Structure 1
Amino acid sequence: MRLGFILGEVGYGLRRNLSMVISVVLVTFVSLTFVGAAALLQMQITQMKGYWYDKVQVAVFLCGEDYGSATCADGAVTDPQRSDIQSMLESAAVKPYVASFEHESKEQALAHFREQFENSAIVDTVTADQLPESFRVSLVDPEKYDVINELFSSMKGVDVVIDQRELLEKIFSIINIASVVAIGIAGVMIVCAVLLVGTTIRLSAFTRRRETGIMRLVGASKASIQLPFVVEGVIAGLLGALLASGVLWGMATFFIDGKLAKEYPDTAFISTGEVFMVAPALILLGVVLAGVSSIVTLRRYLKV
């Protein structure tokens, strides 16, 4: 089997069915882009969980005037109540669960609020009296939130105990949903890509049936007849995978590293390193899907 002959047949087939080949490349590109985006989203979720779960705190919000909870029936938290809460945090029963804690006054809460919402129109409408003071508690084991909640939620002067992980879980749930949608769209597009590869190979085999018939008559092997068609499909799948990898690299470089990472320096984002981990899998997937689809189609429509 001569390499020059195989390459010549591949080039001839690609030129003759150029529009179909471009369609295969584009469909493969779109489908693998969704696959890669879903994989990167999962990596982002994992990275953010590992980063933020070590930083999240339990917020013990104290009573203010006219708060509706039963523990705030006597009005705003008093100095003795505040001291009791702090003493509980420093007690031997709680100390094994608490890594550190700090008191946040209304003024400090306002400063943090203005820092977080500096670009929002509501930043100048909020005053310190409208924000609750609190104790910010970092736990040794974030999974032990229920212990802190049980101990402090019924204390006089405590309005509510909030685990910040619950807020993060809502965000992660939304990202997970987006990831599942991306995987679903990718699955549909992959099916379209496989069918389109099969159609392209079938059309290529039909248009070259005279040549393949002659090759059969002169005793050409099955592999030498089918290999050019398989290579055509693999090349189309490979180009689509390379395009998908390039787009994902561009998003990571210019959007995530170049924009998001600079605007939100305290957030752990994925980088081009994760793209280089995903790209080989996308290339392999594109090549395998195109190759298998080509072989199955040839067995069905190109009898040798």
Structure 2
Amino acid sequence: MRLGLILSEVGQGFRRNLSMVVSVVLVTFISLTFFGSAILLQLQIGEMKGYWYDRAEVTVYMCIAAIPDCDGADATQEQIDAVSAQLAGDTLGQFVQKVTFETREDAFARFQEEFAGSPIVEIATLDAIAADFRIKLSNPDDSDIIIDSVSGMPGVDEVRDERALLQPIFDVMNAASYTAVGIAALMLVAAVLLISTTIRLSAFSRRRELAIMRLVGASNRFIETPFILEECWPRSSARCSRAGRSSPSCTSS
């Protein structure tokens, strides 16, 4: 097989179908970029979920007089002790790794530290802050057990799973990654159609040359190689070169 002749045929094909070749390169590049971005984003979402879910806590907020559902009364010390005993008991103790009780004073000090410089700090008062239990679970998936057991106890205003605050963020990121995968799939289909169309047009424009090659005894491989190189060379893809004899996107009609 004469390499010089094949390369000259490839060069002529590039000149004849330059715009189509550029379109194939751009479409393939964009589709692979979307596909790679989707994979990286999904991996990052998995890493973030593992990191934040392991650190997510269940918070039990005790009643304060400012909350209507608490009948205008603060949680008593007996009610706080009852919740503490429930969390440390044999039933829930096996699911709890660590329990931290935060008094109203401690919660108010933390609130002032976290929102320092915000106008809300100036209008907030100690009476608007509730004492709470911050519960670190051995397995974050057991949060429903804690919520069902503690909710409704006297003096308990709300039991909140912090994972519920993170889930909407992960839902948006998952939707973005799935959208990127869908766009990549459409772009790959478009790339395959463009490649197939380019090969067909190139073959049709040189149909007389191909007929002469067949008459003089040229092999199918000799005839097909320039068309394969025209599609595979611009993308510098070893995959396409290996699949040139069998892939629908790299064979002539």
Q: Normalised by the shorter chain, which TM-score bucket? A: 0.7 to 0.9
Deviations 1:160-191 (A, max 9, x none): 11112222222221111112222222222222
* Alignment correspondent of 2:15: 15
Summarize the Cα distance change of 1:287–1:127 in structure 2 as closer, same or farther, 3 Å threshold. farther
* Alignment correspondent of 2:249: 293
Summarize the Cα distance change of 1:230–1:141 in structure 2 as closer, same or farther, 3 Å threshold. same
Question: Are 1:127 and 2:83 an aligned pair?
Answer: no
Q: Distance in 2 between matches of 1:285 and 1:97?
A: 54
Q: Distance in 1 between matches of 2:201 and 2:243?
A: 20
Question: Are 1:2 and 2:2 an aligned pair?
Answer: yes
* Alignment correspondent of 2:64: 64
Q: CA deviation at 1:65?
A: 2.0
Structure 2 residues not aligned, in runs of 5+: none
Q: Distance in 2 between matches of 1:131 and 1:202?
A: 74
Question: Are 1:40 and 2:37 an aligned pair?
Answer: no
Matched letter for residue 227 of structure 2: F
Q: Distance in 1 between matches of 2:28 and 2:106?
A: 53
1:173 maps to which of 167, 171, 188? 171
Deviations 1:92-150 (A, max 9, x none): 3322110012123445545655666679x666466254443321101112222222112
Greater Cα offset, 27-36 or 86-95: 86-95
Q: Distance in 2 between matches of 1:117 and 1:5?
A: 74
1:163 maps to which of 161, 164, 170? 161
The 5-angstrom pairing of residues 179-190 of structure 1 reads 179-190=177-188
Matched letter for residue 47 of structure 2: Q
Q: CA deviation at 1:64?
A: 1.8
Summarize the Cα distance change of 1:5–1:170 in structure 2 as closer, same or farther, 3 Å threshold. same
Q: Distance in 2 between matches of 1:213 and 1:110?
A: 88
* Alignment correspondent of 2:140: 142
Summarize the Cα distance change of 1:172–1:166 in structure 2 as closer, same or farther, 3 Å threshold. same
Identity %: 45
- 1:27–1:189 Cα contact (<8 Å) kept: yes
Q: Distance in 2 between matches of 1:113 and 1:288?
A: 63
- 1:107–1:128 Cα contact (<8 Å) kept: no
Q: Distance in 1 between matches of 2:191 and 2:185?
A: 10
Q: Secondary structure at the match of 1:60?
A: strand
The 5-angstrom pairing of residues 208-287 of structure 1 reads 208-238=206-236
Summarize the Cα distance change of 1:285–1:5 in structure 2 as closer, same or farther, 3 Å threshold. closer
Q: Distance in 2 between matches of 1:135 and 1:238?
A: 60
- 1:109–1:128 Cα contact (<8 Å) kept: no
Q: Distance in 1 between matches of 2:149 and 2:35?
A: 46
Considering only aligned residues, what root-mean-square deviation do their CA atoms show, in Å? 3.0
Matched letter for residue 49 of structure 1: K
Q: Distance in 1 between matches of 2:211 and 2:27?
A: 31
Question: Are 1:100 and 2:56 an aligned pair?
Answer: no
Q: Distance in 2 between matches of 1:42 and 1:110?
A: 38
| TM-score normalised over the length of structure 2 | 0.84
- 1:234–1:287 Cα contact (<8 Å) kept: no
* Alignment correspondent of 2:25: 25
Q: Secondary structure at the match of 1:66?
A: coil
- 2:243–2:250 Cα contact (<8 Å) kept: no
1:206 maps to which of 189, 204, 207? 204
- 2:65–2:74 Cα contact (<8 Å) kept: yes
Matched letter for residue 51 of structure 2: Y
Counting matched residue pairs gives: 251
Q: Secondary structure at the match of 2:54?
A: coil
Structure 1 residues not aligned, in runs of 5+: 240-282, 300-304
